[in-house]
Amino acid sequence: MTTSFQHRCIVEIGGIPIAVSTGDLGLFGLIERRYSGFLSDSRPELEIELQRVEQPVSSPDEDVRVYREVEEWVLHRGDFRARWSPLSGQGTVRQNLNPYAFDSVLRILHSLLLAERHGFLLHAASVICDGKACLFSGVSGAGKTTLARLAPQEATLLTDEISYVRRAVEVYSAYGTPFAGELAQPGENCAAPVSALFFLEQGPENLVEELPAPEAMRRLMRNILFFADDPGLVENVLNTACDLVSRVSACRLVFYPDAKVWDVVRQFQGLPAYV
Amino acid sequence: MSETYITRSSAIAARMLAGEMMVMNSVDSTFFTLNPVATAIWQAADGRTPLREIVRTKICEQFDVDPMQAEKDAQEFVTDLSQHGILLVSSEPFPDTAASTRPEEKP
């Protein structure tokens, strides 16, 4: 690894600061702009060196692969090649001038880090209302972005696509992420305790129905982002998911896409409607 | 009649939640929840007890089921989970090492 970096910034998501260094000004500008709301001066836990390549590093259609090679994690996809050592905290990423490549590397890195810290990334929008975070989970097309768009002005959007959930002491919190969906807008860089987990379905009217824990688990596990075939980390993710559904209300939220759905969400939490 | 022996793969994580066993395969991240009858079979899969014995002692004595039907259902369940790499199946008892390396499910 070279040591003469010209450009360096620290991207802190979910309280985990990662230093990103590169000698390529174009790549650095792209990183600074994309993560502008998540730059920090904290002491980094990881150091990542970005190396720019002009061509795709392999077939553009190559699926993501994450595996362990001796003491390093290796992350592959058509548009990037990355290696990261948990022991040294250092890694490299080779990619072209494409913002989505590093975004994916960050998601995978955080999914690995969170698995050891009672957390995970979830396909979900998350929003803070009255100091409490609600997670709205579902596959593409379930309505995550729609629900985020309909959120009242008083609400704080943490993400419309990838929620960041992590346990601190005995409480699960949701953190803002720069990982945006169709809204194309990064979340706010803040956090709040998770008060409810909703699984989205669109329908003709608004309806909230509490789910038994096993059914909540079935739905939750379908939407957790985890890429590595590491038995220890998989066990951690399973335990964290079970723990979350044991502590937080999990519901099915059938909704008709207008702003009234937020009154239903607030009433479920014992909060007054906005209207 | 030959016997069937079953043991849990070491590549899975499992945890009990509200009376159902949550099982995740670390190789392909597939996730299963087992109902109480399947959970009883799962918990008894020690690699040394024949499946027929498990059905007789853990299923027929604890659940209100027809023995013939229970054995048929158990065979289907075992076949299904073995195809997903969750259970290992053999006509011989598994050596102690195979059984002892399986993960312990947590309450």
Residues A47 and A169 in one domain: no
Domain boundary among A64, A85, A115: A115
| Secondary structure of residue A269 in the 3-state scheme | coil
User: Residues for chain A: how many in total?
Assistant: 275
Contact A213 B18 (CB under 8 A): yes
- Can you give the residue range of the structural domain that contains B76? 5-100
Q: With contacts defined as CB-CB under 8 Å, which chain A residues touch B103?
A: 231, 235
Residues A131 and A103 in one domain: no
Contact A231 B11 (CB under 8 A): yes
DSSP E strand stretches across A61-161: 65-69, 72-77, 80-84, 90-95, 119-129, 132-137, 156-159
- For residue B24, being part of any structural domain is answered with yes
Q: What distance in Å separates the CA atoms of residue A46 and residue A188, rounded to the nearest whole number?
A: 23
Number of domains in chain A: 2
Give the CATH number, domain containing residue B77: 3.90.930.60
Q: What distance in Å separates the CA atoms of residue A220 and residue A237, rounded to the nearest whole number?
A: 11
Cβ-in-10-Å burial (0-12, 13-18, 19+) of B63 comes to exposed
- Can you give the residue range of the structural domain that contains A225? 119-268
Alpha-carbon Rg for chain B, nearest whole angstrom, is 13
- For residue A274, being part of any structural domain is answered with no
Domain boundary among A63, A82, A115: A115
**B63 CB near a chain A CB, below 8 Å?**
no
Q: How does the average pLDDT of chain A come out, rounded?
A: 92
- For residue A67, give the chain B residue with the closest CA: B27
Look at residue A99 in the predicted model and tell me its pLDDT: 86
- For residue A237, being part of any structural domain is answered with yes
Give the CATH number, domain containing residue A138: 3.90.228.20
- For residue B31, being part of any structural domain is answered with yes
Contact A214 B31 (CB under 8 A): no
Query: Percentage of residues in chain A with pLDDT exceeding 90?
Result: 81
Contact B13 A226 (CB under 8 A): no
Residue of B25, B33, B106 with shortest CB distance to A239:
B106
Contact B15 A239 (CB under 8 A): yes
Look at residue B56 in the predicted model and tell me its pLDDT: 93
Cβ-in-10-Å burial (0-12, 13-18, 19+) of A41 comes to exposed
Of A131, A264, A163, A248, nearest in space to A205 by CA: A264
A112, A121, A234, A244: which to substitute to probe chain B, counting the most B Cβ within 10 Å? Answer: A234
Q: With contacts defined as CB-CB under 8 Å, which chain A residues touch B13?
A: 231, 234-235, 238-239
The token pair at A147 is 């629900």
- For residue B106, being part of any structural domain is answered with no
- For residue A2, being part of any structural domain is answered with no
- For residue A275, being part of any structural domain is answered with no
pLDDT digits (tens, 9 = 90+) for A40-96: 999 999 999 999 998 766 676 778 999 999 899 999 998 999 999 999 999 999 998
| Secondary structure of residue B21 in the 3-state scheme | strand
The number of C-beta contacts closer than 8 angstroms across A and B is: 55
Q: What is the pTM of this model?
A: 0.89
The answer on pLDDT for B101 being more than 50 is no
> CB neighbours of A224 closer than 8 A, spacing ≥ 6?
A120, A121, A122, A123, A237, A241
Of A139, A142, A48, A174, nearest in space to A101 by CA: A48
